[in-house]
Chains A and B, each alone.
Chain A
Amino acid sequence: MSLLSVPVIVTLGVLMQGLVSCAPPLLKYDASEMPPLQLAVVGQPSVHDGRARFRTLFCELAARERPALDCERLLVRLAAEPPAAASAPLPQHDPRLRILLVPGGFAECFKEAGLFPEALPRLQAAGYSVSTVPVSGRSSSAYNAWRIAVAVARTSLPPDGLLVLAGYSKGVVDILEFLVQYPSLAARVHAVVSVSGSVNGSPIANRYTFLFEATDDLLLRDCPPGDRGVAEDLKREPRMNWLARHRLPGHIRYFSIATVAPEEEVARAMALTDGPLRYVDPLSDGQLIFYDQLLPGSELLGYVRADHWAVALPLQKHWYLLASNPAGTHFPRGLLLEAIMLHLSEALRDNT
């Protein structure tokens, strides 16, 4: 769901607006009134709350580097966030972390949509080894699991190295599929990070996959088709059934960052898919509902105030009119990813 082509979004949006806009949404509340939520299958472990520590790390990093940034605003404070502990010094970066980034759906189809481009040099400068897994943009997660497996197998890991898979949007689903399909390679993984992960899929994909599949060959004709399973893997029911059938490996630490944005801070092109989602729940990032984004059993790091694209992709730079938002906001992606890796450095400190 990370990147649908603009014509598809416009078509879907117009159709969906027409279908649902005849009555007001049932749910209306401020983000500060609602605690974090996870739509979970029976027996799935709940998330645990790591928001307070992550806010401290993110804000201290921001204060050090860009004092003008309003850090409190960039991390949305949902209800029941624990108070921050007494200020502790920032942890040291841990150069043992070997980071593989896994892009979302359609990334391969849009060269200008590189994942966290600003973050790569700064992470490398901090001593991390970082690379991006070339997953297929239009393929299912089962297909991409193999590509991740190849990347993991080829990653040289020193004896004390810590392999981290960081996925964005559908890339997170690809990672989960890899973990259960390739247990011997999954044994090499120490941590998985989900950034706006389409963990439970999205109602948007549920309804309009048929329309996408009828038009994608035309709209994405320059993009390798793979197995064309991308949209099916973003539907809510298949995702929930997958989660009910599989248990994630217990030796891995899981972390989740979710995204939510007010309507006026959602990319203009995405506002058309965002509208219908807000009939389901007001906390949306334009493509996903907040309770669909958390990995089972993960540590919840926080809710970033960004739409589904702005958190990870530099689209505002390339598609100014459609990817920018009416409020004119931007999100410091590089800062976010560095804060995540600092948090991991601290959390995995005792791992060997």
Chain B
Amino acid sequence: MLDYSLDVPAQTLIPPGAPPVRDGRARFREIFCALLAREPSAAERPCDALLHRLSDEPDTATLARPLPSHAPGLTVLFVPGLLGGCAYGLSAPFESAVQRLRRLGYDAWVAPVNASSNSHANAERLAREITKSRSERIVLIGHGRGAVDILELLVANPAAASRVQAVLSVGGAINGSPLADTPAGAALLFSRGEDMACSEGERASLGDLKRTHRLRWLMAHPLPAQTRYFSIGAFAPRPEVAPPLRPRAAALATIDPRNDGLAPFFDQVIPGAELLGYANTDHWSIAAHPLGLAPAQGGATPETSSFPRDVLIEAALLRVIESLTSGGAGG
């Protein structure tokens, strides 16, 4: 019933007592656009076409501020979601972002979480990964269900959580996904032929992504206050969504057309987080690049394949570092 329109403010679906989300979109846009301008591919798509500008986004500062400095040595641990095992025709999530961050001096890697395990088991895996970090300063970046695994870790393992300075969700399934609620939705998530790599285990782990489960969990588990939270959401017009995700996006449009093929835009923000922005791309393309398949074979559209996901991650990390070093000022 709702139209796809950007004339809406940023929104979050929250339970009672949830801490308010802070608006960091203006500063993040500034950082992202400045970084993007340095890229050889900068002319392909204007920066403003890559980050949605919703009706309530504050103006960026009149005088451009300098880019924050990187923090070499910082541990950046990426946590993939179901995409880790359930997508066909895509690179491993965050593969190229890890390479980019390593070149910049970060200690970055992708955590070996298991898409067919529940979030509790993945939280234990993450705790083991954290013990491998040489740095006491750790940033966790989660995509889709990976963001949920991170939140489970923070609540279940205070010792590991105490080393986590910041969490960034990227297209995070924070409130779960409406697709996980019914067999009809699950059939869209694991449709035959497109996700052949996906096993019954992944289907079983969908319980963690049920909206009722996630929202009850969020209400019952306040997140540790010593960690800073940041969120980047994603949504795209349906013709620009990767073809395998379009039936999911169409089904989700009965709830809200501003979705990324996994969740509406208002389900993707961590309570109390700084909202960095909404990427104009779908749930897959924000984290992984296509492996050269044509759209008809399940590959990406021109818009999503060219999405500068690594620049997005670098820009978000810069904002995280700026916030951690300045005590949170920005915006």
Q: Which residues of A contact B (CB under 8 A)?
A: 16, 20, 23-29, 33-49, 79-80, 203-204, 206-207, 236-237, 240-241, 243-245, 276, 279-281, 291, 300
B295 proximal to A (CB < 8 A):
no
CA distance A37 to B16 in the complex (A): 7
Q: A41 contacts which of B9, B17, B185, B252 (Cβ < 8 Å)? A: B9
B3 to chain A, nearest CB (A): 7
Contact A80 B15, beta carbon cutoff 8 Å:
yes
* A291-B13 contact in complex given A45-B20, A237-B5, A244-B56, C-beta closer than 8 Å: yes
CB of A27 within 8 A of CB of B211, answer: yes
CB-defined contacts of B14 to chain A, threshold 8 Å: 37-38, 40, 46
What residues on A are CB-neighbors of B22 within 8 Å? 42-43
Contact call A26/B251, Cβ cutoff below 8 A: yes
Instruction: Contact check, A35 vs B179: say whether CB atoms are below 8 A apart.
Output: no
How far does the alpha carbon of A25 sit from the alpha carbon of B183 in the complex, in Å?
11
Q: Are B16 and A47 in contact (CB under 8 A)?
A: yes
CB of B275 within 8 Å of the partner chain:
yes
Residues from chain A with a CB closer than 8 A to the CB of B255 are 26-27, 279-281
A39 to chain B, nearest CB (A): 5
- Determine the chain A residues whose CB is within 8 A of the CB of B181 once the complex forms: 26-29
Taken residue by residue from 182 to 220, chain B's Cβ proximity to chain A (1 for < 8 Å, 0 otherwise) reads as 101100000000000000000000000011100110011
Please provide the 3 A-B residue pairs with the shortest distance between their CB atoms, ordered closest to farther.
Answer: A244-B9, A203-B1, A244-B56
Residue of B at shortest CB range from A238? Answer: B7
Q: Chain B residues near A243 (CB, 8 Å)?
A: 9
The residue of chain B having its C-beta at the shortest distance from the C-beta of A45 within the complex is B20
In the complex, are the beta carbons of A203 and B9 less than 8 A apart? no
Chain B 118-138 residues near chain A, CB threshold 8 A: none
Q: CA A36 – CA B181 in complex, angstroms?
A: 18
Q: Which B253-280 residues sit within 8 Å CB-CB of chain A?
A: 254-255, 266, 275
Q: Is the interface of A mostly helix, strand, loop or mixed?
A: mixed
B residues engaging A (CB < 8 A)? 1-3, 5, 7-23, 55-56, 178-179, 181-182, 184-185, 210-212, 215-216, 219-220, 251-252, 254-255, 266, 275
A178 to chain B, nearest CB (A): 22
Residue pair B16, A245 in contact (C-beta under 8 Å) = no
Q: Residues of B contacting A38 with CB < 8 Å?
A: 13-16
- CB–CB B16/A48 < 8 A: yes
| Contact call B9/A240, Cβ cutoff below 8 A | yes
Which chain A residues lie closer than 8 Å to B251 at the CB level?
23, 26
What's the nearest-Cβ distance from chain A to residue B207, in Å? 12
CA distance A26 to B179 in the complex (A): 6
A90 to chain B, nearest CB (A): 25
Please determine whether A40 and B11 come into contact, CB atoms closer than 8 angstroms.
yes
Task: Select B254's contact among A49, A236, A279, beta carbons within 8 Å.
Answer: A279
B254-A237 in contact (CB<8A): no
Report how far A136 CA is from B23 CA in the complex, Å.
Answer: 37
Bound-complex Cα distance A33 to B184 (A):
19
Alpha-carbon distance between A241 and B16 when the two chains are bound, in angstroms: 22
| Most chain B CB atoms below 10 A, which of A23, A40, A206 | A40
Flag if A26 contacts B7 (CB, 8 Å): no
Q: Which residue of B lies closest to A32 (CB)?
A: B212
From B1, B9, B184, B220, name the one whose CB has the most chain A CB atoms within 10 angstroms: B1
Q: Which residues from chain A contact B179 at a C-beta distance below 8 Å?
A: 26
Q: Is the CB of A241 within 8 A of B182?
A: no
Given contacts A28-B181, A237-B2, 4 further A-B contacts (CB under 8 A): A26-B179, A46-B17, A80-B216, A244-B10
Measured CB to CB, the closest approach of chain B to A22, in angstroms, equals 11
Q: Give every chain B residue within 8 A of A27 (Cβ-Cβ).
A: 178, 181-182, 211, 255
A241 touches B13 (CB 8 A): no
Does B17 lie within 8 Å of A48, measured CB to CB? yes
Evaluate whether A42 and B16 lie within 8 angstroms (CB atoms) in the complex, with A34-B215, A206-B3, A280-B254 already known: no
